[in-house]
Amino acid sequence: MKTCVIWTVNLDSRKTRSEGRKIPLKYAVPNVKLAELVEACRALGIQFEVEEKKYPKCWWEDCGRVIVPKTKSKIHIMIDIAKKIAELRDSKKKR
């Protein structure tokens, strides 16, 4: 089965497209952490493998990536995950 790699940077609204953001700003969330990425994958029922690596374009920042099975286009998977991260953040704020 094909897989795709999703970096925390790919979903970060603070990054530009040239810095590694892959999804439209309206879906992106600021300051994505690897733990949030993992939590969102679990909540969506997506199988994943975690890797604590540095994104090559910003090797000095702490980030990481998950490897997920490619069930639909990579952009759609990333948008779903970003929406879930935003949803999880909202539910934590309300507590």
pLDDT of residue 1: 82
> Per the structure block, which two tokens stand in for 7?
């970096």
CATH no., domain 3-94: 3.30.56.30
Report the C-alpha gap between 5 and 26 in whole angstroms: 21
The pLDDT assigned to 58 comes to 82
pLDDT tens profile 10-54: 999 999 999 999 999 999 999 999 999 999 999 999 999 999 899
Residue 76 scores a pLDDT above 90 = yes
Res 40: pLDDT: 95
Please state the rounded mean pLDDT for residues 79-85. Answer: 96
Prediction pTM value: 0.91
